[in-house]
Amino acid sequence: MNMLSDAAAEKALVKKMNEVNYKMVGKDVSVYYGEKRALFDVNLGVRNNTVTALIGPSGCGKSTFLRCLNRMNDTIQGAKVTGLLTLDSKDIYDPDIDVVELRARVGMVFQKPNPFPKSIYENVAYGPRIHGLARSKAELDQIVEASLQKAGLWSEVKDRLQESGTGLSGGQQQRLCIARAVAVSPEVILMDEPCSALDPIATARVEELIHELRANYSIVIVTHSMQQAARVSQRTAMFHLGNLVEEDDTDKMFTNPSDQRTQDYIMGRFG
């Protein structure tokens, strides 16, 4: 009886997955750092033109999952990923997939703003240059301007493109990093607590930006701020101790979560 319902649930899930327009899908994803297992069979999809927020207490595996999506875990020694992760239904851990190409399609913004110690212009032009996206200087100029526009930074820096990117304020640096990620025209943008090092005003600007970017990109954002998750995302996934607790519409998650742990975490009872 139980087995039957399990099978039925599985079937319903597969059906749902086929109905919804998923950009990236993770199936039974587990991550090991050496002996230690950091993620336990996570099944989670990223929808097209949707902001998905990953929440949960520190060390619950949400950043680990995020880093699987563009294989940044490859750069950590001893990290091993199992399970299936797809981008547009193609396995991204398949040996045929070029990790360099994958990362150009799945961009990433980090917790701490990390502009290169180069000029603002060079920071944004870095990606297009290495991928040969511009055939001429004029084209490159255009990409840089468009990217800075999209990141809402153009008006502030257009007169000082040759100044160092590290001379900007923290919030500007983070938007520069977003512009840098946008410049290679990714399809998905991953953000790992992008506002945790910023003040409330800069945070508001970045959140506004995430709203605008949603029109063109699928976005996955890790955040420790419940308000931020509620403000910027349409879907929310709750992690706990390396497991995915539940994933649902953000409205439902914050008003009527199905799992008690989600309720407790959102209400601030643990984490």
Partner 1 sequence: MSVGSIVLVVLVLAALGYFFGRRRAVAASAKSGVKLHSLSGYYGQTVALFTAVPALLLMVAWLFVQPIIIESRVSDMIPDSVIPQGGALSLVMSDVRQIAGGLDAVLANTELSEEALNSGEVDFTTIRARMAEVGVALAGDVPQEVYEAAKAYRQGADIGRLMMTVAVIGLALGLLAWSMRRIEPRMRARNVSENFVQALLIGSSTIAILTTVGIVFSLVFETINFFKLYPASEFFFSTVWNPQFRGGSDLGILPLLWGTLYVSLVALLVAVPVGLMIAIYLADYAGSTLRSFAKPAIEVLAGIPTIVYGLFALITFGPFLRDWIAQPLGLGSSSSSVLTAGLVMGVMIIPFVSSLSDDIINAVPQAMRDGSYALGATQSETIKRVILPAALPGIVGAILLAASRAIGETMIVVLGAGAAARLDLNPFEAMTTVTVKIVSQLTGDTEFASPETLVAFALGLTLFVITLGLNVLALYIVRRYREQYE
Q: By the criterion CB under 8 A, which residues form the site for partner 1?
A: 70, 72, 75, 77, 100-104, 107-108, 110, 112, 114-118, 126-127, 130-131, 164, 166, 177, 180-181, 184
Q: Closer CB to partner 1, residue 125 or residue 266?
A: 125
Task: Report in angstroms how near the CB of residue 134 gets to partner 1 at its nearest.
Answer: 15
Q: Which is nearer to partner 1, 197 or 204 (CB)?
A: 197
- Smallest separation, CB 115 to partner 1 (Å): 8
CB nearer to partner 1: pick between 173 and 203? 173
Sheet holding 79-87, edge to edge: 36-47, 22-33, 79-87, 90-91
Q: How far is CA 32 from CA 72, 76, 84, 105, in A?
A: 14, 11, 15, 25
Least CB distance to partner 1 at residue 87 (A): 13
Q: Considering the complex, what minimum distance in angstroms separates the CB of residue 111 from partner 1?
A: 9
Q: Where are the alpha helices (DSSP H) in the chain?
A: 2-19, 62-69, 99-105, 120-131, 137-150, 154-157, 170-182, 200-213, 226-232, 250-255, 260-266
Smallest gap from residue 131 Cβ to partner 1 (A):
6
Q: Which is nearer to partner 1, 184 or 266 (CB)?
A: 184
Give least dist CB 196 to partner 1, A: 14
Contacts of residue 108, defined as CB under 8 A and 6 or more positions apart, other chains included, come to: 70, 72, 181, 189, 190, 191, 192
CA separation for the pair 41, 43 (Å, rounded): 7
CA pair distance 240, 206, nearest whole angstrom: 26
Q: Which of 214, 182, 235 is nearest to 52 (CA)?
A: 235
CA gap 181, 105 in Å, rounded = 10
**83/170 with CB nearer partner 1:** 170
Q: Which is nearer to partner 1, 47 or 131 (CB)?
A: 131
For residue 178, what are its two tokens?
């977003």
